[in-house]
């Protein structure tokens, strides 16, 4: 995708987490400001933007201020259910990263933004000195499969790309108990090789990768 490709009035969902491209995000939605937004996105087959909160809470309080990162990820709704009135249960997949150019808060506290899509991560083969991160992640996948974890409960979804720097780095960022601020910095990096190098350092220190 060209970096100049923009989206106008993209609805935003500020969360206390970070969505990575290729990642899976389950959400239970009950706030009025998001029920209508998510329903419309699902009906139109349109994405919304997930951004990581810097200040504020996921549940809106009129007197509280909200501040969020200017780099987020487009989310595609893959599963949609309304188990009861006033409640939606969805599962999303992270698509392309974007950068906020202008944002506006609408009534009911809903945020929209004009955004510029960021280029997709380049496919970079994993160098020999970082193969430990890929092997350790493959071990996690094998363990989960051996335990017969149901597909909808798997934290990692096919197709597995254990030969790709971005995919391996992103999946470890989701699995590791990192602060949201650290995940945001890693997600915002333009170079997936650098992202994996930083993740690999953490894995080595934790004794997960050799």
Kind of pairing, strands 67-68 and 48-55?
antiparallel
- CA–CA distance, 46 with 93 (Å, rounded to integer): 12
Same domain, 104 and 147: no
* CB contact at 8 A, 99 and 116: yes
**Region of residue 45 (phi > 0: left; psi between -120 and 50: alpha; otherwise: beta):** left
Cα angle for residues 186, 194, 55 (degrees, 5° grid): 15
Q: So what's the pLDDT on residue 57?
A: 61
Given this model, what pLDDT does residue 55 score? Answer: 78
- State how many domains the chain has: 2
User: Which CATH number belongs to the domain containing residue 36 in this structure?
Assistant: 2.30.130.40
Query: What does residue 16 show for φ and ψ, rounded to 5 degrees?
Result: -85, 25
Please compute the mean of the pLDDT values over residues 104-122 and round it to a whole number. Answer: 93
| Residue 65 pLDDT | 76
Q: Tokens 């970070």 sit at which residue?
A: 18
Continuous H helices in 45-164: 131-146
Q: Which of 117, 136, 168 is the last residue of a domain?
A: 117
The distance of Cα 50 from the centroid of its chain, to the nearest Å, equals 7
For 13-25, the pLDDT digits (tens) are 999 999 999 999 9
Is the model more confident about 88 or about 33? 88
For range 38-61, the mean pLDDT: 86
On whether both 15 and 100 belong to a single domain, the answer is yes
Domain range holding 133?
Answer: 128-205
Percent of the residues in the chain that have a pLDDT greater than 70, as a whole number: 94
Q: Which residue has the tokens 């009861």?
A: 84
| Phi, psi at 19, each rounded to 5° | -100, 125
Cα distance between residue 73 and residue 188, in whole Å: 10
Does pLDDT of 166 surpass 70?
Answer: yes
So what's the pLDDT on residue 108?
A: 81
Shared domain for 39 and 90, answered yes or no, is yes
Strand 71-84 and strand 48-55: the pairing is antiparallel
**Host H or E run for residue 118:** none
Same domain, 135 and 77: no
Instruction: Return the DSSP state at 93.
Output: E
- The answer to whether the CB of 167 falls within 8 A of the CB of 161 is yes
For 135-140, what is the mean pLDDT?
97
Confidence band of 153 (pLDDT split at 50, 70, 90): confident
Rounded to the nearest integer, the mean pLDDT of the chain is 92
Q: Is residue 1 part of a domain?
A: no
């Amino acid at each position: 995708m060209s970096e100049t490709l923009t989206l106008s009035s993209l609805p935003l969902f500020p969360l206390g987490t970070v969505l990575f491209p290729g990642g899976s995000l389950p959400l239970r939605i009950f706030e009025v400001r998001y029920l209508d937004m998510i329903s419309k996105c699902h009906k139109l087959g349109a994405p919304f933007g997930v951004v990581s909160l810097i200040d504020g809470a996921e549940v809106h309080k009129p007197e509280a201020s909200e501040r969020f990162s200017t780099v987020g990820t487009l989310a595609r709704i893959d599963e949609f259910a309304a188990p009861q009135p006033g409640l939606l249960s969805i599962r999303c997949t992270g698509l392309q990263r974007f950068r906020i150019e202008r944002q506006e808060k609408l009534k009911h506290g809903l945020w929209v933004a004009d955004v510029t899509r960021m280029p997709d991560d380049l496919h970079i083969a994993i160098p020999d000195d970082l193969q430990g991160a890929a092997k350790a992640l493959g071990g996690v996948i094998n363990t989960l499969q051996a335990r017969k974890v149901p597909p909808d409960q798997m934290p990692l979804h096919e197709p597995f790309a254990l030969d790709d720097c971005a995919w391996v780095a992103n999946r470890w960022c989701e699995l590791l108990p990192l602060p949201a601020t650290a995940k945001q910095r890693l997600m915002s990096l333009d170079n997936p090789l650098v992202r994996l190098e930083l993740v690999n350092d953490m894995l080595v220190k934790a004794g997960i990768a050799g």
